[in-house]
Amino acid sequence: MTEDLLGRHRDVLPDWLALYYQDPLEITHGEGRYVWDAHGTKYLDFFGGILTTMTAHALPEVTKAVTEQAGRIIHSSTLYLNRPMVELAERVAQLSGIPDARVFFTTSGTEANDTALLLATTYRRSNTVLAMRNSYHGRSFSSVGITGNRGWSPTSLSPLQTMYVHGGVRNRGPFAAMDDDGFVRACVDDLTDLLGHTRPPAALIAEPIQGVGGFTSPPDGLYAAFREVLSERGILWIADEVQTGWGRTGDHFWGWQAHDRNGPPDILTFAKGIGNGMSIGGVVARADIMNCLDSNSISTFGGTQVTMAAGLANLTYLLEHDLQGNARRVGGLLIERLRAVAARVPHVREVRGRGLMIGVELTTPGTDRADPDAASAVLEAARAGGLLIGKGGGHNTSALRIAPPLSLTVAEAEEGAAILDHALRSLDQ
My answer on whether 311 and 373 are in the same domain is no
pLDDT at residue 278, as a whole number: 97
pLDDT mean over 370-378? 96
- Say whether both 42 and 67 belong to one domain: no
pLDDT given for residue 39 in this prediction: 96
- Domain finish residue from 267, 300, 320: 320
Instruction: Work out how many domains the chain is built from and give that number.
Output: 2
Q: Which domain holds residue 67?
A: 63-320
CB distance 133 to 148 below 8 Å: yes
pLDDT bin (cut points 50, 70, 90) of residue 429 is confident
106 with 176, same domain: the answer is yes
pLDDT in tens, 9-46: 999 999 999 999 999 999 999 999 999 999 999 999 99
Q: Are residues 210 and 255 in the same domain?
A: yes
Q: Above 90 in pLDDT, residue 222?
A: yes
CA distance 359 to 210: 10
Give the percent of the chain with pLDDT over 90: 93
Share of the chain above pLDDT 70, in %: 100
Per-residue confidence (pLDDT) for residue 404, from 0 to 100: 98
User: Are residues 288 and 384 part of one domain?
Assistant: no
At residue 195 the predicted structure's pLDDT band, cuts being 50, 70 and 90, is very high
Whether 106 contacts 112, CB under 8 Å: yes
- Summarize pLDDT for 77-88 with one digit per residue, the tens: 999 999 999 999
Q: Taking the model in full, what pTM does it have?
A: 0.95
pLDDT of residue 132: 96
pLDDT of amino acid 397: 81
* pLDDT tens-place string over residues 76-125: 999 999 999 999 999 999 999 999 999 999 999 999 999 999 999 999 99
What is the reported pLDDT for 1?
Answer: 61
Given a cut of 80, is residue 396 above it in pLDDT? Answer: no
What would you measure as the largest C-alpha separation in the chain, in angstroms? 63
CATH (domain of 148) = 3.40.640.10
Quote the pLDDT of residue 21: 97
Residue 47 has pLDDT above 90, yes or no: yes
Q: Which residue has the higher pLDDT, 392 or 155?
A: 392
Domain end residue (candidates: 320, 342, 372): 320
Same domain, 250 and 369: no
Out of 284, 305, 320, pick the residue that ends a domain. 320
- For residue 154, the model assigns a pLDDT of 86
Q: What is the pLDDT averaged over residues 313-318? A: 98
Pairing assessment for the beta strands 399-402 and 357-362 based on DSSP bridges:
antiparallel
Q: How far is CA 94 from CA 89, 91, 99, 282, in A?
A: 8, 5, 9, 14
The whole-number pLDDT of residue 260 equals 80
Number of Cβ within 10 Å of residue 177's Cβ equals 9
Place 394 in a pLDDT band, splitting at 50, 70 and 90: confident
Q: Kindly state the average pLDDT of the residues 142-150.
A: 90
163 contacts 135 by C-beta, under 8 angstroms: no
Same domain, 274 and 334: no
For 237, phi and psi rounded to 5 degrees?
-115, 120
CATH number (domain holding residue 326): 3.90.1150.10
Within this chain, do residues 115 and 238 fall inside the same structural domain, yes or no? Answer: yes
Chain-wide mean pLDDT for the chain? 96
- Of the pLDDT bands very low, low, confident and very high (cuts 50, 70, 90), residue 290 is very high
Asked if residue 164 and residue 149 are part of one domain, the reply reads: yes
For residue 2, pLDDT over 80 is answered with no
| pLDDT tens-place string over residues 254-288 | 999 999 877 899 999 999 999 999 999 999 999 99
SS3 letters across the chain: CHHHHHHHHHHHCCCCCCCCCCCCCCEEEEEECEEEECCCCEEEECCHHHHCCCCCECCHHHHHHHHHHHHHCCCCCCCCCCHHHHHHHHHHHHHHCCCCEEEEEECCHHHHHHHHHHHHHHHHCCCEEEEECCCCCCCCHHHHCCCCCHHHCCCCCCCCEEEEECCCCCCCCCCCCCCHHHHHHHHHHHHHHHHCCCCCCCEEEECCCECCCCCECCCCCHHHHHHHHHHHCCCEEEEECCCCCCCCCCCCCCHHHHHHHHCCCCEEEECHHHHECECCEEEEEEHHHHCCCCCCCCCCCCCCHHHHHHHHHHHHHHHHCCHHHHHHHHHHHHHHHHHHHHCCCCCEEEEEEECCEEEEEEECCCCCCECHHHHHHHHHHHHHCCEECEEECCCCCCEEEECCCCCCCHHHHHHHHHHHHHHHHHHHC
**Are 280 and 329 in a shared domain?**
no
Shared domain for 137 and 235, answered yes or no, is yes
Do 328 and 315 lie in one domain? The reply is no
